[in-house]
Structure 1
């Protein structure tokens, strides 16, 4: 494959990806338009059904008229025969034959209209049901899309490098560090105070048992007992 074919193929791929991205980004808008188109087509189908039903009514009226004419002319034929007028009876019979042929054609046409109307009514009913079902699904999809967008916005707001949550966390950590530093400074100040006043050294001497740790009730009691024993 030549370099130009590869470049052309790459360009086609990029165009396809761009087109798909546009479709994905505008999915809900496209879906709404498709639903509007479906409702318009349904409206047109109902109008067509109305026209066909009107034509069927006209054909049925023609059928009824032809049947009435045939019945009427059959009566004329019978009267002509009663009068012995064969020629007139034959002429009337020819007219009846014309009416009969026309009646057959109109009846077939009426049957065709009836079948088409039945099928069209079924199609319209199915389409209406599908549109209602799709409308419910579209509502669910829109609600889901809104929730997902809200969640995405929240996640973006609190997960980015410059998010409010991260800034709040950083501030909290800085406060903790400052408080710990202040606590350490206070402890250090107390230690320095002890060292400067000799308290720290005295505490160390007491801990080592070099100096007395101060009077205690037990020590006093033992001292008194010792004196009493020595005086005996």
Structure 2
């Protein structure tokens, strides 16, 4: 018997945990539905408020009508007294008393309706403010849940491809190392050429003042250009002599 009770308790606990997990898994959806239900209730409350407000307006009209009837009957009673007809005046006075009783009842009903209208308006305003607050909260909750899902997706993706990322990073490091080695070898070759190669010999000759330099070559070019210019001027033809006249003498100025 004790075992059966424990099994029943276990089943109840499992059902409670299952129900709680279902509620937690659909908390956002349940919350949204509760907001929808609250909006529907507010709509119904507004409809009821309209009904109460209509009754308030009806009682206000009835009160105005009764006041007019009371004034009219009071005038009739006065007219009956003026004609010394006290019996008729008394009958009219009884009618006035009935109208006043009805007016009092309508006044109380009107005050009651006005109080209900004010209270319902306050409740509706408070409910609408609460609904707006819950709508803001559910919006934040949806956004937060989306961010959590995206973060979880990224984490799962990185976890699933972690080894690939590590391998790619290692390959990149090896490529960078090869590039560094190549740059170092090129720099070393340039340095060796400066110390032991053809460039080294030219540098040593230049430092010793041996061999043509840029200035010496420029001087040679300049001397060659000057000699070429002078030779050109010496080879240019002289001015032509005066042409002889027919008698063999040069022409003279007259």
Q: Is TM more than 0.5 here? A: yes
Counterpart check, 1:164 vs 2:161? yes
Q: Which residue of 2 aligns with 1:140?
A: 140
User: Segments of 4+ in structure 1 off by > 4 A?
Assistant: 170-173
Equivalences for residues 1-232 of structure 1 within 5 A: 2-159=2-159, 163-170=160-167
Q: Which runs of no fewer than 5 residues in structure 1 stay unpaired?
A: 180-232
Q: Which moved more, 1:31-40 or 1:127-136?
A: 127-136
Q: Which has the larger radius of gyration?
A: 2
Aligned residues: 175
How many angstroms does 1:171 deviate by?
5.8
Structure 2 unaligned regions, length at least 5: 176-254
Alignment partners' CA distance in 1, 2:131 and 2:32: 12
SS of alignment partner, residue 84 of structure 1: coil
| TM-score, normalisation: structure 1 | 0.71
Quick check: 1:158–1:166 contact (8 Å CA) kept in 2?
no
Q: SS of the counterpart of 2:124? A: helix
Q: Cα deviations across residues 188-220 of structure 1 (Å, max 9, x unaligned)?
A: xxxxxxxxxxxxxxxxxxxxxxxxxxxxxxxxx
Q: Deviations along 1:71-90, whole A, 9 cap, x unmatched? A: 11011111111111011011
- Deviation for aligned residue 1:143: 0.6
CA distance in 2, matches of 1:166, 1:88: 112
**Mapped contact 1:73–1:92 kept (Cα < 8 A):** yes
Give the deviation of 1:166 after TM superposition: 2.6
RMSD (Å) for aligned C-alpha atoms: 2.0
